[in-house]
Structure 1
Amino acid sequence: MAHSPLHYERLRLRHLRLLQLIDEHGSLRSAAAELNLTQPAVSQMLKDLEFAMGVPLVERSVRGVVLTDTGLLALRRSRSGLATLDQLVRELDAGQTLSLRIGTNSALMYNIIPEALRRLNVGQSETRFQLKTGLVGDMVEALSEGNLDCYVGRLDWDQVPTRIARLLTYDPLLETDLILICPTGHPVARLDTPRARDLVGWPWAMPSRESNNRIVLESAMRSTGAPDLTAAVEVSADPNGLINLALALGMLTCVPRVALNEHANARDFKVLEVADLALPSIHIGFATTAELRQMPEVADLREAMLDAAKAWIAGSEG
């Protein structure tokens, strides 16, 4: 099937919404009802869309219709565009003020994010900023779906699905390490050279099981042959919350060093240097889609993040 420029020029917004409805309902009849069209009209829309793209987008069977692999790729691309259009409509309704939607990790809310926004003169500029924190997987998914304009935080490429990775661009910002801490009065803090087994049996304030930090910690513990740790409290995507809980409840916890460096109570904790436990570094970066990278406001934010990261690195080394 050859690509048809004529059909491409005739595409409308509802052609893209059709892919979304087919994926949700698996039925052209249901899609037609959602679009308030007849089924023959929707079938023709689908033909026009396939002619425009030059590839089959759906597979038909007695059970209904499903998107092909190419159809799923087209859906992912169109979903991002549709979400961007929806955001544009909301901004126009709100008075034509642009809002940048930034996904990030809570660990960066004490330093990198505020410094970058300060450099952009937030409050004086016409751009508004919407910040959302969460787990890495959720943030990356939201970025690929068009529900975020960029993501600032940890990104392990071997854990990013290929379908998402090929949509993204990435700039490294800084490198930090994952550290184990406990209140200075904790029994483990009194050990000169604690080992992995010394961490077992004590209550921990832990990230959720879906957190990359917890996955890395538990994997490292298993490699030493030590038993599983006891997660007395779990907190999702909030290193600062983990620090506060560990301090208040006398527990051990695991956080990125970038979260501890700026914490008001950092002097009340001891960083544990565990002889037989190797925790890998955490790479923090700026990710966006190829399309949004050229947007002036996103480009300005990217430069501000790079400058803020350089300032933080210089301050940490000093």
Structure 2
Amino acid sequence: MPDSPSRDPWWDLRRLRYFAVLAEELHFTRAAARLHIAQPALSQQIRALERQLGVPLVHRTSRGCVLTEVGQRVAAEAGRLLAEVDAGTDRIRDLVRGREGRLRLAYTRSARGGRVDALMTRFRAAHPDVEVVAETAWTAPNVAGLLAGRLDAAFVRTPVEEPGLRCRFVEAEELLLALPTGHPLAVGRRRISRAEVVDLPAVMWPRDNGPGMFDRTIAQVWPQGGFRLVRQEPDDEQLLRAVAGGDVVAAVPAGRARALKVPGVRLRRFTAPTPTVDVRLAWPRDTTNPAVHHLLAQLDDA
């Protein structure tokens, strides 16, 4: 009577692996040597497998063994099954190492290029099997996506005050003053003082897009007050086009402003202290996604 099926599937797979090696060698001693076990132990495991299946798998001979007809078919099925198990094991190992899997990532609209793009280039090179599903949005929707579990990681403009998230510094970016080409401050000037921008008509994007960055920008560029918002635009490109129209000025991150190269706009630096806004990588505090941790490792190595 065959044994009842084992409750430990890995024990059954081990017996199948022993049998698969024996089917290749057709010799108990040689098979045992390949498996690094004693020959009597191998014999016991093959008999246990035969009892479990309820059929003989091998005929022992003086020179070794031969497979029964059923044994030949079991050996073929065992080979296919073990190959799938080995491939699946490799995939799981790669997943744990971050070499496979999925990273749902969001960039922040105002921060592309520089260390952000360099970080992602290194990550993709180190983990080419990770599927990176990327999108771009403002900080506020990026934070909402992280908290809702729709994103695994996101680049954000800080400060971001969310206890469910952790943030790691990526880079600090200088704020520049964007002026119309014909503005008096754009002619013959390399640096602009805070006092000179007080009460100038200004354009900004809506505060709801990134409250922390909005407030930090105002606090650094207009520390004594005098911020006169007369216009709002949905993104940096439209903001700079508004400046080019000749009616307003704007404080903008240097990388984005220089990359857009909007005609009719002059960029000027501020006098010390240099105003900056941070770019940080944010992720859920309790994440178990290995790709996120490997992205952080790339950031640590920068």
TM-score, reference length from structure 2: 0.53
Equivalent residues in 2 for 1:302-313 (5 A)? 302-304=296-298, 310=302
* Residue 240 of structure 2 corresponds to residue 243 of structure 1: yes
Shift of 1:272: 4.2
Q: What letter corresponds to residue 156 of structure 2 in structure 1?
A: G
Partner of 1:72: none
Shift of 1:133: 0.9
Counterpart selection for 2:176 from 176, 179, 187? 179
Shift of 1:100: 2.4
Partner of 1:148: 151
TM-score, reference length from structure 1: 0.50
**Distance in 1 between residues matched to 2:194 and 2:158, nearest whole Å:** 26
Shift of 1:173: 1.2
Partner of 1:106: 109
Q: What letter corresponds to residue 228 of structure 2 in structure 1?
A: L
For the residue of structure 2 that corresponds to 1:174, the secondary structure is: strand
Shift of 1:127: 0.7
* Residue 290 of structure 2 corresponds to residue 296 of structure 1: yes
Distance 1:174 1:225, change over 3 A: closer
**Distance in 2 between residues matched to 1:179 and 1:241, nearest whole Å:** 16
Contact 1:111/1:262 (8 A) holds in 2: no
Partner of 1:204: 202
Contact 2:165/2:285 (8 A) holds in 1: yes
- In the alignment, structure 1 segments of 5+ residues that lack a partner are 1-96, 311-318
Larger Rg: 2
For the residue of structure 2 that corresponds to 1:182, the secondary structure is: strand
Deviations 1:46-70 (A, max 9, x none): xxxxxxxxxxxxxxxxxxxxxxxxx
Deviations 1:59-85 (A, max 9, x none): xxxxxxxxxxxxxxxxxxxxxxxxxxx
Contact 1:105/1:133 (8 A) holds in 2: yes
* Residue 279 of structure 2 corresponds to residue 284 of structure 1: yes
Contact 1:186/1:250 (8 A) holds in 2: no
Contact 1:189/1:272 (8 A) holds in 2: no
**Distance in 1 between residues matched to 2:219 and 2:115, nearest whole Å:** 28
Q: What letter corresponds to residue 214 of structure 1 in structure 2?
A: F
Distance 1:106 1:173, change over 3 A: same
For the residue of structure 1 that corresponds to 2:149, the secondary structure is: coil
**Distance in 2 between residues matched to 1:128 and 1:172, nearest whole Å:** 21
Paired residues, number: 199
Deviations 1:161-219 (A, max 9, x none): xxx32x32322111223222214432221374655454356543312133434323444
**Distance in 1 between residues matched to 2:298 and 2:262, nearest whole Å:** 28
Shift of 1:146: 0.9
Q: What letter corresponds to residue 152 of structure 2 in structure 1?
A: D
Partner of 1:44: none
Contact 1:239/1:256 (8 A) holds in 2: no
Equivalent residues in 2 for 1:128-147 (5 A)? 128-134=132-138, 136-147=139-150
- In the alignment, structure 2 segments of 5+ residues that lack a partner are 1-99
Equivalent residues in 2 for 1:52-67 (5 A)? none
Distance 1:147 1:199, change over 3 A: same
**Identity level (%):** 18
Q: CA RMSD in A?
A: 3.6
